[in-house]
Amino acid sequence: MFKKSLIGLALFAGAALSPALVAEESQQNWDLTPLYADWQQWQGQKADLEKQLERLLAYQGRLGQSADALADAMDLYYDLSKTLSQLYVYANLNADTDLRDSDNGAKRQSIAMLANTFNQASAFVNPELIALGEDKVMKLVDAEPRLAAYRFPLENILRGKAHTLAPAAEKILAAAGTVTSAPYSSYATFTNAELPWPEIELDGELVTLNQASYARFRSHPDREVRKQAFDNFFGTLSKYRRTIASLLDANVKADVFNARSRNHASALEAALSEDNIPVEVYSALVDTTNANLDTLQRYLKLRSRMLKLDDQGYFDIYPAVVKATGDYPIDRGIEMMLASLEPMGENYVNKIRTGLDQRWMDTYPKLGKRSGAYMSGSAYDVHPYVLMNYNDDYTSVSTLTHEWGHATHSVYANANQPYATAGYATFTAEIASTFQEHLLTDYALKNADDDNERLYYLGQTLEKFRQTFFRQTMFAEFERAIHEEVEKGQPLSDTRASAIYLDLLRRYHGHDQGVMTIDDAYGIEWAYVPHFYYNFYVYQYATSIAASAAFADEVLSGDKAAYDRYLNLLKAGGSDYPYDLVKRAGVDLASAAPYEAIFKRMNRLMDEMETILDRSEKL
């Protein structure tokens, strides 16, 4: 139950590396001293934690001895978990500040190893509680007030009775974690450090066409340049398709092994059962999206019109249809974010102001700094931290707003929940972040100076829906398909993976309808997407943006009851199952309704975009 520390904007596989800039302003660099004064203090607490693990093992066989014994064990377990999380946050943030510092990287790795040791030391807890039985455990909970904070975590453990093994087997599975995670580690090492990317000339520049430069050139305004980037990048991946397919096959087999070891009907069911999410959520998302692919294809036709293309290809999918009308330096970005959140009230907005004033954020790109953006919210006794690589564009404003949505979620959850139930699932985490993005979009559109600026924001919003909703749902469908192949005993070869992926690409993008041509060579794109090693993770981006759109519409309409329900969702943290929390707040993600609302929203935006285009073409 070691809590995940990072929640980030990870929608685009292989996002471009940050420019090598140096941020001199200390106000824009995060202050990590609230975590630990220095590495010496960190090392001291780490050493103390290692010694404390022996105390945890002393409770093995004693959890049912008395209510006091169970409360003491739970207090110790969660105290150790909380300390471990804070140790990891400090090591991770320092390492990501400068990836060139191998010492910091080693410290981060040492915490990952300590977390594995912690998991092994606590592996007896679940099977022992399950062996005691629900009646006895709940009687102990009722008898000791200290156990009230652990009621839901204990209920959740007992729910897993059918999927929990004997203590010895649990310990073996915990230790096997380093083995079953090896395919992804090997994939990341191979594609990021050892795969020989080609050196080619693009737009008069000699570049090594790796993930970063591909992400840069795939949106180039010159069609020939971006097609050259596509063809060379995916052509290179294709040369190593068998190696990458073997790694993906091993990763899927590990998922299936874990699912079957725990008596689950499928890997999908096993992945969703961790947070007790009904499989119907996954099915409703995929099925409803497939029934409404005409919405995506309408958007692609609109892109073709704006880019003035007669034969739109897959390599045309990334260029912006409207250029930005200006720059968005950090002060303007913060101003837009805070202004857009005014419908949430002064108390809500002031939580973000506090974080900005107290330097919870590392703002700018720097030499050696990790690329992308994330929020780290697991330091329960301190506060969240936000890593940004702000580039003075509107995308950076959107990312800023997204990550501070995560941070605000953590602030509310930590203030209203004990540590044991403060940590929330990804299923709800991405709702808080995309909710703030919806409010930003509403603000930007209402305050646009002219049609051109309005077109820009409309284009950015529609592209967000394409990448966050449709692309992630397509990924989810691919992930389900490859797991089903392995579960049927079929090998996941490179040709089979490419055939499945190419079929999905063409179906989603209207290849047979003449909307967008998808060349056979682009079926290898699956080899570029690290998310397929994350065990049914990506579908939550799509479900979350659908739920958050519904919440945003209600809040912006002035519905006070809806506002209260949404804030209660943030405050709830992980105090109940995420699907139930979202449903209680007013959105049922196992039904078609929230997804159909996304399609209606997109069509409204496209109606507005076409009206502006029609008006401009008459001038």
Q: If residue 587 lies in a helix (H) or strand (E), which one and from where to where?
A: none
What CA–CA distance (Å, rounded) separates 14 from 526? 12
Whole-number pLDDT of residue 64:
96
CA distance 444 to 447: 5
CATH of 183-323+455-533, one of 1.10.10.10, 3.20.20.140, 1.10.1370.20, 2.40.128.110: 1.10.1370.20
The residue written with tokens 């759109």 in the block is 549
Residues of the chain with pLDDT under 50: 1-5, 8-24
Helices H, strands E: what count in the chain? 27, 6
Evaluate whether 476 touches 285 at the Cβ level (below 8 Å).
yes
Q: Minimal CA–CA distance to 422: which of 194, 150, 613, 189? A: 150
Distance from C-alpha of 49 to C-alpha of 80, rounded to nearest angstrom: 7
> Is residue 585 exposed (0-12), middle (13-18) or buried (19+ Cβ within 10 Å)?
buried
HSE-CB of 342 using CA atoms within 13 angstroms: 7
Residue with tokens 């996002």: 15
Q: Could you give the 3-state DSSP secondary structure of residue 25? A: coil
Dist CA 498 CA 292 (whole Å): 24
CA distance 256 to 262: 10
The 3-state DSSP class for residue 208 equals: strand
Residue 189: per-residue pLDDT: 86
Which tens digits make up the pLDDT trace of 282-292? 999 999 999 99
CATH 1.20.140.70 at 23-175, yes or no: yes
Residues 226/217, Cβ–Cβ less than 8 Å: yes
Report the greatest alpha carbon distance in the chain: 83
What pLDDT was estimated at residue 180? 80
CA distances from 443 to 85, 183, 408 (A): 36, 44, 19
d(CA 53, CA 118): 7
15-53 per-residue burial string, b: 16 or more CB within 10 A, e: under 16: bbbbeeeebeeeebbbebebbbeeeeebeeebeebeebb
Task: Please name the amino acid found at residue 474.
Answer: M
CA distance 520 to 509: 14
SS3 content of the chain, % helix, strand, coil (to 5): 70, 5, 30
Instruction: Classify residue 223 as exposed, middle or buried by CB count within 10 Å of its CB (0-12, 13-18, 19+).
Output: middle
Is 461 within 8 Å of 441 (Cβ atoms)?
A: yes
* Domain range summary for the chain, segments of one domain joined by +: 23-175, 183-323+455-533
* HSE-CB of 537 using CA atoms within 13 angstroms: 14
Q: What is the pLDDT of residue 63?
A: 97
CA 87 to chain centre: 22
What pLDDT does residue 28 have? 85
pTM of the model: 0.90
Contact in structure between 505 and 517 (CB atoms under 8 Å): no
Residue 59: per-residue pLDDT: 96
Active-site residue set: 403
Confidence at residue 619, expressed as pLDDT on a 0 to 100 scale: 64
Indicate the SS3 state at residue 278: coil
3-state secondary structure of 490: coil
DSSP 360-383: -EE-S--TTPPPS-EEE---TTS-
- Structure confidence by residue, pLDDT tens digits, 377-400: 999 999 999 999 999 999 999 999
